[in-house]
């Protein structure tokens, strides 16, 4: 049967780390070929592997070379093999980790009590940032931050200025101070973004706490509560044309957090991230969001256009297509994450330290993969 069968294939150059493959479906069968290992067949390398959902998550079956002479033998992978994932319609979080401290600096550096395991590009949310009943950094609790740098196994940097006098540096692992990873942060792209800073001028430069996911030409609007300043950016009211919203267009993208828009903000009130601790209860965060057609602010989306079959969103190293195609006209694209992960597991006989024999291959190995979702699965 093939009526609802789904198939996909692709390739990548391995970095030696686990590889996430985003798909428009969750596969029940996967096949992998390590072209590099097959061309230079030596001891312990895995040139071919495959997986079926009934094997269980993190497992797999593979061929490998079992000696210094090229003899092909089969084996199983019991952990760190193939696994699938599927984001939900609401946010999901990883385990809570104790925060031991946060610097009062620009940018702020967060320290965890144990190894956090985070990377640049991971998105996190913090809570319980009270140093005492009247001091701390509770002003930024609940804001999603995409990590900008990782200093060590226990430190990472966020896009926020906590050097103002209303912030008190956290220390001593305050009770209830935790950080959690957002497992699937980009369920819709672009999303509502919390504004980290604004630089005014003939054009306006904006940094967001998460990846903004905007494209050049994106039409945007601002929602800036009074306490944060720069309320002149707000989409309504328009004092020049009553009832007409104030929208801007993204004119350039500096990085995944920073962009420049077309609004002339010369003379606008300065943006103020130095919020008062006592006001954190019921805090409303400054936001910037998309309001026009997907990625463009007006480009027609049809076969052959620049956005067919789908727009893309950024990661820490490149841009990845969303699962939708063609894109739906409107501000946001459904990007519920799903697909599979190729792990760093070994065949049962191999030592985990032998990185050249990982399922995902060694650094610079060329990997080809195929993924399938079948119509019917019988017991």
Under 8 Å between Cβ of 27 and 372: yes
Does residue 234 have a pLDDT over 80?
A: yes
Does residue 377 have a pLDDT over 80?
A: no
Number of domains in the chain: 3
77 and 101 co-located in one domain = no
| CA atoms of 354 and 229, how far apart (whole Å) | 55
Residue 152, φ and ψ in degrees, nearest 5: -160, -175
Asked if the structure places residue 1 within a domain, the reply is: no
318 and 199 co-located in one domain = yes
Closest-CA residue to 48 (of 30, 28, 67, 68): 30
158 and 194 co-located in one domain = no
Last residue of a domain, one of 130, 150, 181: 181
Domain containing residue 312: CATH number: 2.40.30.180
Last residue of a domain, one of 131, 156, 181: 181
**70-82 residue pLDDT tens:** 678 888 999 889 9
| CA atoms of 336 and 189, how far apart (whole Å) | 9
Asked if the structure places residue 92 within a domain, the reply is: no
Under 8 Å between Cβ of 10 and 35: no
pLDDT band at 296 (very low <50, low <70, confident <90, very high): very low
DSSP three-state, residue 177: coil
CA distances from 359 to 9, 27, 292 (A): 17, 18, 43
Report for 97-111, 236-250, 275-289: range of highest mean pLDDT: 97-111
| CA atoms of 249 and 168, how far apart (whole Å) | 37
291 and 304 co-located in one domain = yes
**6-18 residue pLDDT tens:** 899 999 999 888 8
Does residue 276 have a pLDDT over 60?
A: yes
User: What's the mean per-residue pLDDT of the chain?
Assistant: 84
CA distances from 221 to 97, 203, 212, 300 (A): 35, 15, 13, 20
pLDDT at residue 297 in the model:
42
Asked if the structure places residue 379 within a domain, the reply is: no
pLDDT at residue 186 in the model:
78
62 and 162 co-located in one domain = no
Asked if the structure places residue 43 within a domain, the reply is: yes
| CA atoms of 371 and 366, how far apart (whole Å) | 17
325 and 194 co-located in one domain = yes
Q: Where are the beta strands (DSSP E) in 218-364?
A: 219-223, 248-253, 258-261, 287-290, 312-314, 319-321, 333-334, 338-342
pLDDT at residue 269 in the model:
96
202 and 227 co-located in one domain = yes
What is the rounded average pLDDT of the residues 247-253?
89
Report for 67-71, 130-134, 263-267, 348-352: range of highest mean pLDDT: 263-267
Q: Which residues, listed in sequence order, are joined to residue 339 by a DSSP beta bridge?
A: 22, 85
30 and 10 co-located in one domain = yes
pLDDT band at 305 (very low <50, low <70, confident <90, very high): low
pTM, two decimals, is 0.71
Closest-CA residue to 136 (of 182, 97, 103): 103
124 and 191 co-located in one domain = no
| CA atoms of 51 and 34, how far apart (whole Å) | 15
222 and 176 co-located in one domain = no
Tell me, rounded to whole angstroms, the distance of Cα 374 from its chain centroid.
29
Does residue 292 have a pLDDT over 90?
A: no
pLDDT at residue 332 in the model:
66
Of 93-107, 214-228, 343-357, give the lowest mean pLDDT range. 343-357
**205-222 residue pLDDT tens:** 999 999 988 878 778 899
Does residue 322 have a pLDDT over 80?
A: no
Under 8 Å between Cβ of 102 and 170: yes
Asked if the structure places residue 378 within a domain, the reply is: no
Asked if the structure places residue 60 within a domain, the reply is: yes
Asked if the structure places residue 32 within a domain, the reply is: yes
Last residue of a domain, one of 115, 147, 181: 181
| CA atoms of 38 and 323, how far apart (whole Å) | 31
DSSP three-state, residue 279: helix
| CA atoms of 259 and 352, how far apart (whole Å) | 43
Residue 355, φ and ψ in degrees, nearest 5: -65, -25
192 and 319 co-located in one domain = yes
Asked if the structure places residue 205 within a domain, the reply is: yes
202 and 297 co-located in one domain = yes
Domain holding 356, by residue range, is 6-87+337-373
What is the rounded average pLDDT of the residues 178-194?
85
């Amino acid at each position: 049967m093939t009526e609802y069968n789904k198939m996909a294939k692709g390739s990548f150059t391995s970095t030696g780390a686990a590889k996430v493959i985003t798909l428009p479906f969750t596969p029940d069968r996967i096949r992998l070929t390590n072209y590099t290992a097959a061309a230079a067949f030596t001891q312990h390398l895995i040139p071919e592997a495959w997986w079926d959902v009934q094997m269980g998550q993190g497992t797999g079956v593979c061929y490998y070379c079992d000696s210094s002479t090229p003899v092909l033998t089969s084996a199983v992978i019991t952990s760190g093999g193939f696994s699938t994932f599927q984001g939900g319609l609401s946010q999901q979080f990883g385990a809570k980790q104790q925060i031991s401290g946060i610097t009062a600096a620009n940018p702020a550096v967060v320290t965890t009590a144990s190894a956090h395991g985070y990377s640049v590009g991971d998105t996190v949310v913090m809570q319980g940032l009270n140093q005492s009943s009247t001091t701390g950094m509770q002003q930024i609790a609940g804001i999603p931050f995409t990590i900008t740098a990782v200093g060590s196994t226990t430190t990472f940097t966020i896009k926020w200025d906590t050097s103002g006098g209303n912030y008190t540096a956290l220390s001593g692992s305050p009770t209830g101070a935790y950080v959690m990873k957002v497992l699937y942060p980009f369920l819709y792209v672009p999303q509502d973004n919390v504004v980290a800073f604004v630089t005014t001028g003939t054009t306006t430069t904006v940094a967001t706490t998460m990846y903004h996911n905007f494209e050049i030409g994106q039409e945007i609007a601002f929602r800036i509560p009074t306490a944060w300043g720069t309320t002149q950016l707000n989409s309504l009211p328009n004092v020049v044309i009553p009832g007409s919203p104030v929208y801007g267009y993204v004119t350039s993208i500096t990085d995944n957090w920073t962009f420049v828009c077309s609004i002339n903000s010369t003379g606008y009130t300065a943006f103020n991230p130095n919020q008062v601790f006592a006001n954190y209860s019921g805090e409303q965060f400054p936001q910037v969001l998309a309001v026009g057609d997907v990625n463009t602010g007006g480009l027609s989306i049809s076969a052959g256009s620049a956005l067919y079959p789908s727009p893309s969103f950024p990661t820490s190293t490149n841009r990845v297509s969303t699962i939708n195609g063609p894109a739906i006209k409107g501000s946001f694209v459904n990007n519920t994450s799903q697909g599979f992960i190729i792990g760093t597991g070994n065949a049962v006989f191999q030592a985990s330290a032998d990185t050249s024999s990982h399922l995902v291959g060694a650094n610079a190995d060329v990997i080809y993969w195929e993924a399938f979702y079948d119509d019917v699965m019988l017991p």
